[in-house]
């Protein structure tokens, strides 16, 4: 009788262990989109919407707890505090990405002419935006344990660094679909199907390109989730630069020059990294320096 009661749990654990990546992506979408639907149906307070970003990380820890137990969970937790990576990678993460974001505003037609030099009021505004993006917006802190802490190492082992990253970037973009369609979308009143579709394509190009940059940095930083959080934070700081370009639409929908600029600039940066590393994105260093935990999942 006891053995019969244990079989369903064993079956679920076995399925998660056999298909950890498929399970991770399915659960990430279910947790996030399910929470968004619940948030909309119950009309929960707007600040609680940010909790939807935790879907990938919750899915990652759940799968690790079931399939790997304590070793797998601790391995992921340690990557959150892996900070000894070298000053240059902090500079790339905190400054380099924001320089690219600034260029994304400049390269579009009329961008440079629209530039308004900042005054002293820009500094407190920027610091406030930085604190909000890191601590309250949800994305950087709540997502990266799943995307880069759990999924990226496994995708790289299965498909190689470049293809694995492209897969991750495409699914990461699809996971954001709710900001383009649905009751909580950030579409403007004049948005059309063509406009929204074009915006989503630009968004996907931008996220795949940014994912390539992230993979290159993380492979050279031992897969540090801390660095992934900082990179994600720097990328999400684009609203702070809208103040320097008053005519720029701050969102991707309908199609804005900002979305086009981000796709162009980050696409070029990603292409340079791919060519310079011959598509390896620093993966050889990651393989030398990072030991994957010997768990039931890796044994299979």
Q: What are the tens digits of pLDDT across the range 45-56? A: 888 889 999 999
What phi-psi label fits residue 185: left (phi over 0), alpha (psi between -120 and 50 degrees) or beta?
beta
What phi-psi label fits residue 227: left (phi over 0), alpha (psi between -120 and 50 degrees) or beta?
alpha
Per-domain boundaries in the chain: 2-299
139 contacts 53 by C-beta, under 8 angstroms: yes
156 contacts 223 by C-beta, under 8 angstroms: no
Q: What percent of the chain has pLDDT over 90?
A: 60
252 contacts 258 by C-beta, under 8 angstroms: yes
Mean pLDDT confidence for 143-171 = 97
Q: What are phi and psi of 84, to 5 degrees?
A: -85, 85
211 contacts 266 by C-beta, under 8 angstroms: no
Q: What's the pTM?
A: 0.91
281 contacts 161 by C-beta, under 8 angstroms: yes
**Would you say residue 227 has pLDDT above 90?**
yes
Query: What number of helices (H) and strands (E) belong to the chain?
Result: 17, 0
Per-residue pLDDT at 220: 97
Distance CA 85, CA 93 (A): 11
| 248 pLDDT tier (thresholds 50, 70, 90) | low
CB within 8 A of 270, min separation 6: which ones? 208, 209, 210, 212, 213
For 27-31, 249-253, 261-265, which range has the lowest pLDDT when averaged over its residues?
249-253
Mean pLDDT confidence for 11-29 = 86
Distance CA 248, CA 251 (A): 9
Element (DSSP H or E) covering residue 72: helix 70-80
| pLDDT tens by residue, 65-90 | 999 899 999 999 999 999 999 999 99
Angle between helices 97-106 and 257-276 (to 10 degrees): 130
Q: How many CA atoms lie within 13 A of 50 on its CB side?
A: 12
Spacing of C-alpha 143 from chain mean position: 6
| 111 pLDDT tier (thresholds 50, 70, 90) | confident
CB within 8 A of 68, min separation 6: which ones? 75, 293, 295, 296, 297
């Amino acid at each position: 009788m006891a053995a019969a009661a244990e079989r369903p749990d064993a079956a679920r654990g076995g399925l998660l262990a056999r298909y950890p990546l498929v399970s991770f992506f399915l659960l990430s979408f279910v947790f996030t989109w399910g929470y968004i639907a619940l948030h909309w149906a119950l009309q929960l307070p707007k600040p609680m919407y940010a909790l939807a970003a935790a879907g990938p990380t919750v899915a990652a820890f759940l799968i690790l707890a079931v399939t790997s137990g304590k070793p797998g969970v601790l391995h992921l937790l340690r990557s959150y505090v892996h900070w000894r990576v070298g000053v240059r990678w902090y500079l790339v993460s905190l400054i380099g990405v924001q320089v690219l974001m600034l260029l994304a505003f400049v390269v579009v037609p009329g961008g440079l002419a629209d530039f308004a030099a900042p005054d002293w009021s820009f500094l407190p505004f920027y610091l406030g935006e930085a604190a909000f993006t890191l601590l309250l917006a949800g994305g950087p802190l709540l997502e990266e344990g799943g995307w880069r802490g759990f999924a990226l190492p496994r995708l790289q082992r299965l498909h190689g660094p470049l293809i694995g990253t492209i897969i991750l970037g495409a699914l990461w973009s699809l996971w954001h679909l709710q900001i383009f369609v649905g009751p909580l979308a950030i579409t403007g009143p004049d948005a059309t199907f063509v406009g929204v579709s074009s915006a989503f394509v630009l968004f996907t190009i931008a996220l795949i390109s940014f994912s390539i940059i992230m993979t290159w940095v993380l492979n050279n930083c031992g897969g540090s989730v801390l660095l992934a959080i900082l990179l994600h934070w720097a990328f999400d700081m684009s609203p702070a630069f809208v103040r320097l370009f008053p005519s720029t639409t701050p969102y991707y929908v309908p199609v804005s020059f900002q979305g086009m600029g981000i796709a162009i600039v980050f696409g070029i940066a990603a292409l340079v990294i791919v060519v310079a590393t011959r598509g390896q994105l620093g993966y050889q260093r990651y393989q030398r320096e990072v030991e994957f935990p010997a768990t039931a999942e890796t044994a299979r």
